[in-house]
């Protein structure tokens, strides 16, 4: 068998892209002992897995990946139950709800965060902005008290640690389970209160949503809110940091985007292709599945390498190059920055929050450019990416001249 780098090794964590290329080329389907899963890395194979209509490939893996920390979320549902749940939650994240109710929330929170460092001439994009904005936005959309945002951030950190706990550290597992209990203790009374006194917030919308006579229970709403911390928080956080890091590493493209903010959507689309926040997604095979690299047996865990698929040369011209002008990604359709790469997955579980994420990253970037038109990294500073399941820059300590 072809020698394949271990996806859990430090070398892989430091730079997975050479290993991705080797896998796509020589080992498009491999058995990985440590995660006890079959790994697929080619665009066509990852696409096939995502597009399966859950007859052969299910999300049963989330029962052990998500259930202990979130409870039963939309990602664990399938078939009609999943379709109804999507119809219940998705409308709030697109169209008029997004534009009229939630875009102002994003703008307000992005501006407040930028205000904190606007006059200082220095900020860490990761800690001062990227990790704050998505969670602040979700808490604000849900209509939670501003004084509770810090608790929300604490739970967010614990959920992320739980989901990234590759070594199975028992202290992290225990903290995740504690978070599930604390989150429920906080959220369930708020949910009951909103059912009685609905407002113009996302939580009231979720409580009142009804499709074909079906409504979500308190527990369903709570699990969805908990999922939002991870699904909407860490992902968008990494996307904001990555778009800045990619532009800083390509000064000509940074200058072009600053001169024409209309290029921000193209920079976002290319960032999601080149540096997707989520690098790995798992599925469970209910039946035998043929992929280009061979056959996946029934009853197996399948790991899809989004980070590898998004740089497949059979799909993209010059895939290892970050190029917002590449022209093979659309930026205008409703799901612009989505359908042309796999960062939001595809098929039934395609990201519910894709347009919200796009709005957050684009608004965030506009706010950052307004606050720091000449942003730059300290001399000699080279950003380091970290993470294997999710991935993004560790820190981005930028300098800038405060705007008068």
Q: Which residues bind ligand HEM (CB under 6 A)?
A: 59, 74-75, 86, 93, 227-228, 231-232, 235-236, 239, 277-278, 281, 343-345, 349, 351-353, 356-357
C-beta of 1: minimal distance to ligand HEM in Å? 28
| Cβ-based burial of 242 (10 A; exposed 0-12, middle 13-18, buried ≥19) | buried
Closer of 118 and 149 to ligand HEM (Cβ): 149
User: Is 109 or 236 the residue whose CB approaches ligand HEM more closely?
Assistant: 236
Residue 319 beta carbon to ligand HEM: minimum distance, rounded to whole angstroms: 18
**CB nearer ligand HEM, residue 41 or residue 235:** 235
**Which residue has the CB atom at the shortest distance from ligand HEM?**
353
- Quick one: 41 or 400, whose CB is closer to ligand HEM? 41
Whichever of 244 and 343 has its CB closer to ligand HEM, that residue is: 343
Nearest CB to ligand HEM, comparing residues 114 and 345: 345
State which residue, 59 or 331, has the beta carbon closest to ligand HEM: 59
CB 104 → ligand HEM: shortest distance, Å? 16
| Residue 288 CB, nearest approach to ligand HEM (Å) | 21
């Amino acid at each position: 068998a072809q020698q394949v780098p271990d996806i859990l090794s430090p070398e892989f964590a430091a730079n997975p892209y050479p290993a991705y290329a080797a896998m796509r080329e020589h080992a498009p389907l491999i058995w990985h002992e440590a995660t006890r899963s079959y790994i697929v890395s080619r665009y066509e194979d990852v696409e096939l897995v995502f597009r399966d209509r859950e007859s052969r490939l299910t999300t049963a893996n989330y029962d052990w990946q998500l259930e202990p920390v979130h409870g039963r979320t939309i990602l664990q549902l399938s078939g009609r139950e999943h379709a109804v749940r999507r119809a219940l939650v998705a409308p709030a994240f697109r169209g008029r709800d997004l534009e009229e109710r939630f875009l102002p929330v994003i703008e307000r929170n992005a501006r407040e965060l930028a205000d904190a460092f606007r006059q200082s001439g220095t900020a860490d994009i990761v800690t001062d902005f990227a990790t704050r904005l998505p969670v602040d936005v979700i808490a604000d959309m849900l209509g939670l008290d501003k004084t509770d945002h810090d608790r929300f951030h604490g739970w967010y950190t614990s959920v992320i640690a739980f989901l990234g706990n590759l070594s199975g550290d028992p202290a992290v597992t225990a903290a995740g389970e504690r978070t599930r209990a604390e989150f429920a203790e906080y959220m369930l009374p708020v949910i009951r209160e909103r059912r009685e006194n609905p407002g113009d917030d996302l939580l009231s919308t979720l409580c009142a949503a009804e499709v074909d006579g079906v409504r979500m229970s308190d527990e369903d709403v709570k699990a969805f809110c908990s999922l939002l911390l991870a699904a909407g928080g860490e992902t968008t956080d990494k996307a904001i940091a990555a778009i800045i890091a990619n532009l800083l590493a390509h000064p000509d493209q940074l200058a072009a985007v600053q001169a024409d903010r209309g290029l921000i959507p193209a920079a976002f689309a290319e960032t999601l292709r080149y540096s997707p926040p989520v690098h790995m997604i798992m599925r469970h095979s209910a039946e035998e599945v043929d992929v280009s690299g061979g056959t996946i047996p029934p009853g197996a865990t399948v790991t899809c390498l989004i980070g590898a698929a998004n740089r497949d040369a059979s799909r993209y011209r010059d895939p290892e190059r970050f190029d917002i002008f590449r022209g093979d990604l659309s930026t205008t359709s409703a799901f612009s920055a989505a359908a042309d790469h796999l960062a939001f997955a595809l098929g039934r579980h395609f990201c519910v929050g894709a347009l919200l994420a796009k709005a957050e990253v684009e608004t965030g970037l506009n706010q950052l450019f307004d606050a720091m038109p000449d942003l730059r990294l300290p001399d000699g500073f080279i950003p380091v990416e970290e993470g294997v399941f999710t991935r993004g820059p560790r820190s981005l300590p930028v300098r800038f001249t405060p705007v008068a």
